[in-house]
Structure 1
């Protein structure tokens, strides 16, 4: 049993990443990327996955093109990966220590989700684990110009919930997301310290 995540009394708003933070979707994303990349002769390792976590769909393919000197159509590969993910996303389980925070502060503090995923699939993911009953504010990859580690996603979340960035606490599992929160001047919790991450374990 992991320790309860504490929230400091001066915090006035909570912001959550989605994949790997509220919903344990990362193993499903990883398998989908691994299979999609294999079709183009790329070995998609867990290290590579962690390095690219938080980057939206098509820009991830652009990064792979640079890293492996390929000329893959981002939409073609991205869409095949996303389709496989969508077919398996029902297997994701909520990250219990983070859901406990959401239940505890529902109706007490304003909350938003800030994700690098597209709006449609993020809404579906939130619905599947039931978090949409508690949080209706969402900033997705479709809603910003600059993605994590740029702070725009989290700054828009703060604006949506009407809380100054310095008074927001962000829950994240990715390096880029943690950097984004810090750059936005927000406090941040690395949720990977609170649950068992199983990426790459099939």
Structure 2
């Protein structure tokens, strides 16, 4: 039996949609970018790609729709649209409470498909950055979710073997990544649903 199920030695959290209620704000920024570049990007697909870096999404959309764009430059534009919205971000309390409850007891990390300066800013805005021993972002690994790399790296940085970690996520791709890393996976959507709150 995986010993992490009862007594995890480390905890890893996704950020967007897990610790922070950012997804509707990201969608707002994406709508602006989609209009600007005439990209077809429906809301259901946006949510299904939670955890995938913007640059990768833009590269995929451009290739699929035969639209020539500099995916790295446009990803920076999307980030610029999102940046002023960070002030509106609220915590997802049921998950943030887990981080608060375990602070100082076991090491914890954030593993996010976002960019470092944005994720750090969100965590600081929510006044929870100090809870985490490490923050791992899309810039720190070559292979993104659903590959396990980001969760494996997070476990490495807090000094806990992945099989002894519990991880929290809110997307199918993220859950795949956690399981591929050998960690116990907690689906935040189920927590929110059980708590009577709307899940993303």
Question: Could you tell me the TM-score, scaled by structure 1's length?
Answer: 0.90
Given the alignment, which residue of 82, 97, 121 partners 2:118? 121
Alpha-carbon separation, structure 1, partners of 2:19 and 2:108: 13
- The reply to whether residue 178 of structure 1 matches residue 175 of structure 2 is yes
- Cα displacement (A) at 1:107: 1.1
- The reply to whether residue 36 of structure 1 matches residue 36 of structure 2 is no
- The reply to whether residue 192 of structure 1 matches residue 193 of structure 2 is no
- Cα displacement (A) at 1:22: 0.4
Alpha-carbon separation, structure 2, partners of 1:198 and 1:147: 23
Residue 66 of structure 2: aligned partner: 69
Alpha-carbon separation, structure 1, partners of 2:44 and 2:153: 30
Residue 95 of structure 1: aligned partner: 92
- The reply to whether residue 12 of structure 1 matches residue 9 of structure 2 is yes
Q: Structure 2: 5+ residue runs without aligned partners?
A: none
- The reply to whether residue 155 of structure 1 matches residue 156 of structure 2 is no
Residue 78 of structure 2: aligned partner: 81
Please report the RMSD computed on the Cα atoms of aligned residues, expressed in angstroms. Answer: 1.5
The 8 Å contact of residues 113 and 137 in structure 2, kept in 1 or not, is answered as yes
Deviation >6 Å, runs of 4+ = none
- Cα displacement (A) at 1:133: 2.1
Residue 102 of structure 2: aligned partner: 105
Q: Structure 1: 5+ residue runs without aligned partners?
A: 1-6
The 8 Å contact of residues 34 and 45 in structure 1, kept in 2 or not, is answered as no
Higher mean C-alpha displacement, 129-138 vs 87-96? 129-138
**SS, match of residue 58 in structure 1:** helix
Alpha-carbon separation, structure 2, partners of 1:45 and 1:113: 28
**SS, match of residue 169 in structure 1:** strand
Given the alignment, which residue of 22, 25, 32 partners 1:25? 22
- Cα displacement (A) at 1:197: 4.3
Alpha-carbon separation, structure 1, partners of 2:15 and 2:155: 16
Higher mean C-alpha displacement, 77-86 vs 64-73? 64-73
* Greater percentage in helix: 2
